[in-house]
Structure 1
Amino acid sequence: MLGEEGETWDMFKVAKDEFPEDNEIGEYDGFVITGSCNDAHGNDLWICKLVALLKKLDAMKKKVLGVCFGHQIMGRALGGKIGRASSGWDIGVTQVHLQPSKIFTSLKMPAFLSVFECHQDEVWELPPKAEIIARSNKTGIEMFTYGDHFMGIQGHPEYTEDILLNIIDRLFSRNLIEESLAEEAKSKLETSEPDRKAWKKLCTTFLKGKL
C-alpha cells in the first residue's frame, strides 16, 4: 500500500526474532510497525526487544508509523499505558473523528474518515508530550503523534474487505469471538467502506516527511 516506485523496502519478522542490526538502523528513512495477533502489553522477548528498538528510533528521530499493534507498542515504548479495551472487540468499519491538527489541515482532510478496525486492545493513556489527533465513539485514542517522527493509527488503512472477512472467520473458528459479533461485523461491511485513498495519502505523506 505504501511503497512507491524507486523505493526499497525490507521486511523484518520481529515475532520470529528478525530485527535490523544496530549499524543498519541509520540507513533507513523510516519504519512501519504492522498489526499482530500478539498483545503489545505482553512480555515475550521479541516484544521487549521491539520496545527497546522503538526507544532507539525515537532518540534518532526516525520516522515511524505504527498500525494497530504497532500503534499500541509505540504507545508503550513512549511510556504510555496499554491493555484490553473496556468496551471489548472493535471489528468492522469505524468512523474516526479527526481532531484539529496541522497534519490534517495541510492535507485538507475532512472532519471524519472511515477505517477498517480489528482489535481488542487499545492505548489507554499516552505520555504528556504525545498528541491525540483522532478519536471514535469506541476508542479514545484512534491516532496520536509524538514529535514530528512518530504516528500511531489504531485502525487498519492497509486492509481490504477480503482480508477483514478472512480474519473474522478465523477469529470465530478459533472461538475468539462470538457468532453474533462475527455477523454484526460482516453486516457493517455491507453498508460502509473505508476511505483508503485518504489514509494512503496521510500515511505516505507522513513517512516521506512532506507534512
Structure 2
Amino acid sequence: MRIGILQAEEFDAPTQAALGPYQGLFERLLEGHGFSYRAWNVEAMELPDHMDEAEGWLVTGSTAGAYEDHAWIAPLENTIRAIHASGKPLVGICFGHQIIAQALGGRVEKHAGGWCVGRHVYQIEGRDVPLNAWHQDQVVALPSAARRLGQSPFCENAVLAYGDTGLTYQPHPEFDTEVTGYFARALKGGAVPESLLSEAEDSLHLPTEGSMVGQQIAAHFLQNRG
C-alpha cells in the first residue's frame, strides 16, 4: 500500500543531521506493515495531480499556522477536500489535524492558554493515552463532518474522526523520546517558554504510547484502502 505524505515542512539542516528527514519519522511510526511512501513538499507548491497517486494520505505537522496567509495553504485545502471526497483514508498530525479541520469547515486559532509541549495524557475513546505534543494552535470549532474521539484538559478537540476514512491527532505520535528531547534542547531561547521545555525534558523518562497510536493509524489505512 502506498502512503502519500503531504509534507507541510522539512526539518532544517541541523535537525536533519540529528534526526533524519521529517518523512522518516512517519516511516518509522508505521513500519512493519509493508507500506511504501511518496512525499510531496507542499510548502514548495508540490501537490498530487490525482488522488490515485497514493492509496492513503497523511498530512504532517508544520510550524506554519493553518490560518496564515501562505500561498500553499489554499491548494493544500483543495487537495484535502478532494481526498476526503474520494473516500481514501486520510490522516493528519498536529498542523495536519488543524488544516484538515479548517479545509472541511472548522476553525483553528492560536490558543490563549499558550503552548502544549512534551508529554500530555489524552482521553481517547475511554482510556488514558500519554503522547508527546508540540503546538500552540488548536481546532476550536469542529466541521460538521467531524466527531471527537479524544481530548485533554488543555486541548478539547485533540483527536477527530471524519466518517470511516479520516483520522486526525493534535499530538505527535511520531515524536518519541529522542525527538522530543532533541527539540526541548535545541529550541531553548525561542518562542516556547523555558519552563515548558524543562518540563518536557524532565518527563522524558515517562512512557508514551506513540507506537500504539502508530499501529492504530496503520490499521486505519489498511482497513480503508480502496
TM range, smaller chain: 0.7 to 0.9
Deviation at 1:11, TM superposition (A): 0.8
Q: Distance in 2 between matches of 1:4 and 1:18?
A: 28
What is aligned with 2:119? 93
Q: Summarize deviations over 1:71-107 as a string: whole Å, max 9, x none.
A: 000010110010111221000111110235xxxxxxx
1:86-137 Cα deviation digits (max 9, x unpaired): 221000111110235xxxxxxxxxx111111011111111022310000111
Tell me the distance in 2 between the aligned counterparts of 1:154 and 1:6: 26
Correspondence 1:35-50 to 2 at 5 A: 35-50=61-76
Cα distance in 2 between the residues matched to 1:5 and 1:142: 26
Report if the CA contact (8 A) 1:171-1:177 is conserved. Answer: yes
Note if 1:202 corresponds to 2:225. Answer: no
How far is 1:6 from its partner?
A: 4.0
CA contact (8 A) 2:89 2:224 kept: no
Q: Compared with structure 1, are the counterparts of its residues 185 and 197 closer, same or farther at alpha carbon in structure 2 (3 Å cutoff)?
A: closer
Alignment gaps of 5+ in structure 2: 1-28
1:150 and 2:150 aligned? no
Shift of 1:45: 1.0
- What is the Cα-based RMSD across aligned positions, in Å? 1.7
Aligned match for 2:202, one of 175, 179, 187 = 187
Q: Which residue of 2 is the match for residue 112 of structure 1?
A: 128
Unpaired segments ≥5 residues, structure 1: 101-110
**Of 29, 41, 44, which aligns to 1:16?**
44
Compute the displacement of 1:178 (Å). 2.3
Give the superposition deviation at 1:160: 1.6
- Relative distance call for 1:45 and 1:19 in structure 2 (3 A) is same
State the identity as a percent.
Answer: 26
